[in-house]
Structure 1
Amino acid sequence: MKKRIGYIDMAKGLAIILVIIGHISFTPGAGKTILYLFHIPLFFFLSGFTFSIDKYTNFTSFFWNKFKGIVVPFFLMNVFVFLVQLFILYPDQVLSFNLIQFAKQLILSDRLHIYFQLWFLNVLFLSEIVCYFVLKYARNKNLQIGVAITLLFLVFVGQKAYESNWYLIWNWDLVPVATIFILLGVLTRKHLTEVEKYLTLKFLPIATVISIAVGLLNYKLSGFRVDLYYQQIGNHLLFYISAIAGIWATITLFKVIPEAEWFKSIGKKTLIYYGVHSPIVLVLAEKLVAQLAAKYTGIFVNGYVSAALTTVLAVLGCEIIVQIFRGTNFPFGLKMIGEKNEQK
C-alpha cells in the first residue's frame, strides 16, 4: 500500500466540511455561492488523485472492487439513514411508509426520487468505470485529445438532457463533468513532482483570487450559483477556470500549513460524514441552533454565526457516529465501509 499524502487527506477533510456548510440552511447565499464554485469538483479531483488501475489484472476485478467499495456502501448507507429517520427522527411517519417508493429511491436514484445526499457515489462509480477505459486504452495524445473533446461535448449534452427533464438513472448526465475532474486528479498525481512547484505560499493568493473573481463573474453572467447536481454551470470556460483555481488554492493551502491530525482524520472518513450529515446530524444541529439563536439574539447577529456553530455541531455529531460504530461492521455487516476506495 502506498503511503498516504497528508495534505491530500486534509483537503478531503475540508471538502466534506464545505459540503456540510453548503447544506446548512443558515449559510448566507453569498457564502454558498463561493464554496459551490469548487467544492464538488474538489471531491472528484481528490478521488482521481487516489485513483489507479495498475493493481487490477482485468476489468472484472476492477469492477467488483469498485462495486463493493462504492455501490454497496451507497445502498447500505441509504438503508441505515432511512431507518434512523423513520424510527428515530420521524416516527410519526412509520404508518405511512411506502416500500415501493423507497425501493425506487434506492434503485433508480434519479432526481424524481429523493435519496438523501449520496448521489455523489453513483456518479463516482460510473465515472471511475469510464476512467478505467480511458486510462486503459487512450494511450496516445491524439486519443487523449479526442477523449477530452468528447467529454467536454458530453457535459453540454448532459445539461440539455436535464433541462429537457430527462432525469437519467444514477444521474448519468453528471458523469462527463465528474470524469473530467477525476482525470485531472489522475494527471496531477502522475506529474506531481512538476506540479508541486506551484503549490507554494506565493501561489495561494493568486489561485484564490482567480477562483473567486472568475466564479463571481460566472455568477453575474449566468444569474445563478454553480450547482452540479442541478446542472447549473453557467459559462463553461469560467466554470472550469474557477473550479480548477479553487482546487489549486485548496491543495496549496494544505501543502504549506503544518499537518493537523484531526483534519487528516476527517479526510479519511468522508464517506460516513457524507452519508449521515444532512439527513441525520444537521436535522438535530439546526434545531438546536435555531433555539439558541432565538434566545441569544445578541450573539447570533447573522447567518454566518449560526452556520459556524452548526458546522461545529455537525462535525462533532458525525464524529460521534463514527466513534459509536468504531470496530463494528457499520452498517449492516460491511466492515470499514468505503475504506478501500479511499486508500492511495
Structure 2
Amino acid sequence: MSKRLDWLDLGKGLGMLLVMLGHADIPAPLKTYIYTFHMPLFFFLSGYLYKKEKFPNLKVFLTRRTKSLILPYLSFSLIAYLWFLLLFHFGLVNYENNLLTPLLGSFIAERKSIWTVHTGALWFVACLFCTELLFYFIAKIGRTKKVIGFLLIISSILGCLYNKIVGQPLPWNIDVAMISIGFYGAGYLYREYNRGFELFNHIQTFILLFIINVVTGYLNDVVTGERVDFYSSSLGNIPLFYLSAFSGIGAFVILVKQMKKNKVLQYIGKNSFIYLALHQKIVFFVFGLLIQNSVVNFDTLLKHPIVEGLLYTLITVVVLIPAVYLINRYFPFLLGKTTRKSSRGFSMNAF
C-alpha cells in the first residue's frame, strides 16, 4: 500500500498503548475492559488491509508472509531468547528446564508453556500468520462475500468449540487463529462495504456501541468469572464475548476516525511491531527492576495502580524511540525488509 491510511496508523498506535497498558499493573475493571476488544481489534485492522489480488497463489502468499511475519517473529524471538539467557545468568529468572527448550520453542510457538517463556506478546505474530493463512484458503474457496462470511462463521464456531471442550494451546496458536479469523475477516468485509458503514460514523453510534461493549463485557466477567484473554484461552460466555468484542471494535473505529492527526500515535502505529516485541519482557522488566532497587521511594507515586500502569506505558513509548530508530535505520532485516524506506510499510501491511 503506497498511501497510508491515517486512521489506521492512529488506530494501531492507540491500540498498542492499550496493549502495553493492559500488560501493566492496572485496576482489574480497566484491564477487563481493555481485554474485551484490544486483541480482536488488531486482527480486525490487519484484515482490513488484506487484498486477494496480492496473493494469486499459495507460493506467493507463503513467500511474502514468511518475509514479513515469520522472519521478524523468529528474529525478535532470538533477541528475546538472548535476553532470557542474560537474565538467567544473573539469577533474575527461575527456569528449571533445559535452556535450549525456549530456543526450540520459538519454532514450536506454543503460548503459555515452557517453550515460550521468553517471547511474551510475540505469540500474536505467530497467531496472525496462521490467521492469514486460514483466511487465504477461505478467500480462495469463497467466490462471493456471502460464502466468505459463512466460512468465517464455521471456522469461528469450530474454534470456540475447541476452546470450550479442549482449551489446550496448539503450536503456532492455531486454536486462537480459528477464532480470530472471524475478526480478521470482519476487517476485510468492513473495507469491502466501507461506504455503507460510513453512514454510522457519528457520535451517537459511538455512544451506543461503547455502552454495549461495557455492559456485555461486564456481564461476561460477572457471569463467568473469566476475563477475556486470548493468551490464556479465556473467552467466557461466547455470545457476550462476541458482542463486547465487535461493539468495542466498532466504537474504537468510529472514535479513531473522528480524531485529528496525532504524530505520536501515528509514530507508535507505524512501529507497532517493535513496541509489541520489546515492551513486555524487556522494558517493563528493566523498569520494574530499577524501581525495586532504587534508593528513591516510589511507593507514594505508585500507590495507585493506574498511575503505575500509565507510567510504565509512557516511559516505554519514550525509551523505545532509540530502538525504533536503530532498527529501522540499520537493522531493517529484523522487520523482514532490506531498506529503510520499505521498512516503514511493515507495521500496516503485515501487522
Paired amino acid for 1:312: L
Would the aligned equivalents of 2:121 and 2:276 in 1 still touch at CA under 8 Å? yes
1:301-323 CA distance string (max 9 Å, x none): 41111111111111112223112
1:221-251 CA distance string (max 9 Å, x none): 1111111122211111111111111111111
What is the match of residue 6 of structure 1? 6
What is the match of residue 323 of structure 1? 325
Mapped partners of 1:179, 1:149: distance in 2: 9
Paired amino acid for 2:348: E
Matches within 5 A, 1:238-253: 238-253=240-255
Mapped partners of 1:209, 1:41: distance in 2: 18
What is the match of residue 198 of structure 1? 200
Would the aligned equivalents of 1:69 and 1:339 in 2 still touch at CA under 8 Å? no
What is the match of residue 49 of structure 2? 50
What is the match of residue 272 of structure 2? 270
Mapped partners of 1:301, 1:288: distance in 2: 17
What is the match of residue 117 of structure 1? 121
- Stretches (4+) displaced over 6 A: 291-294
Paired amino acid for 2:268: I
Matches within 5 A, 1:263-342: 263-289=265-291, 295-330=297-332, 334-335=336-337, 339-340=345-346, 342=348
What is the match of residue 17 of structure 1? 17
What is the match of residue 27 of structure 2? 28
Would the aligned equivalents of 2:120 and 2:281 in 1 still touch at CA under 8 Å? yes
Mapped partners of 1:341, 1:331: distance in 2: 14
Would the aligned equivalents of 2:9 and 2:265 in 1 still touch at CA under 8 Å? yes
Mapped partners of 1:297, 1:327: distance in 2: 39
Matches within 5 A, 1:66-81: 66-81=65-80
Greater mean deviation of Cα atoms: 285-294 or 152-161: 285-294
Tell me how far 1:290 sits from its aligned partner: 5.3
The alignment partner of 1:295 has SS state of coil
Matches within 5 A, 1:12-161: 12-24=12-24, 26-87=25-86, 89-92=87-90, 98=98, 100-110=100-110, 111-112=112-113, 113-114=115-116, 115-140=119-144, 143-144=147-148, 146-160=150-164
Assess, with a 3 A threshold, how the Cα gap between structure 1 residues 60 and 341 changes in structure 2: closer, same or farther.
farther
The alignment partner of 2:321 has SS state of helix
Are 1:343 and 2:345 matched, yes or no?
Answer: no
The alignment partner of 2:330 has SS state of coil
Paired amino acid for 1:259: K
Assess, with a 3 A threshold, how the Cα gap between structure 1 residues 333 and 205 changes in structure 2: closer, same or farther.
closer
1:314-333 CA distance string (max 9 Å, x none): 11122231123331124669
List gaps (5 residues or longer) in structure 2.
none
- CA-based RMSD of the aligned residues comes to 2.6
Would the aligned equivalents of 1:70 and 1:338 in 2 still touch at CA under 8 Å? no
Paired amino acid for 2:131: S
Greater mean deviation of Cα atoms: 331-340 or 169-178: 331-340
The alignment partner of 2:138 has SS state of helix
Mapped partners of 2:32, 2:335: distance in 1: 39
Mapped partners of 2:347, 2:311: distance in 1: 31
Would the aligned equivalents of 2:33 and 2:214 in 1 still touch at CA under 8 Å? yes
The alignment partner of 2:15 has SS state of helix
Assess, with a 3 A threshold, how the Cα gap between structure 1 residues 334 and 134 changes in structure 2: closer, same or farther.
closer
Would the aligned equivalents of 1:86 and 1:93 in 2 still touch at CA under 8 Å? no
TM-score by length of 2: 0.88
What is the match of residue 255 of structure 1? 257
Would the aligned equivalents of 1:85 and 1:280 in 2 still touch at CA under 8 Å? no
Mapped partners of 1:99, 1:292: distance in 2: 30
Assess, with a 3 A threshold, how the Cα gap between structure 1 residues 293 and 213 changes in structure 2: closer, same or farther.
farther
Paired amino acid for 1:152: S
Residue in structure 1 matching 2:172, options 151, 160, 170: 170
Assess, with a 3 A threshold, how the Cα gap between structure 1 residues 151 and 301 changes in structure 2: closer, same or farther.
same
Paired amino acid for 1:173: D
Would the aligned equivalents of 2:78 and 2:103 in 1 still touch at CA under 8 Å? no
Would the aligned equivalents of 2:210 and 2:251 in 1 still touch at CA under 8 Å? yes
Mapped partners of 2:296, 2:33: distance in 1: 27
Tell me how far 1:97 sits from its aligned partner: 9.3
TM-score by length of 1: 0.90
Mapped partners of 1:279, 1:217: distance in 2: 32
List gaps (5 residues or longer) in structure 1.
none
Tell me how far 1:57 sits from its aligned partner: 2.8
The alignment partner of 1:199 has SS state of coil
The alignment partner of 1:300 has SS state of coil
Paired amino acid for 2:17: I
Assess, with a 3 A threshold, how the Cα gap between structure 1 residues 293 and 257 changes in structure 2: closer, same or farther.
farther
Query: Taking every aligned residue pair, what percent have the same amino acid on both sides?
Result: 28
Residue in structure 1 matching 2:231, options 219, 229, 233: 229
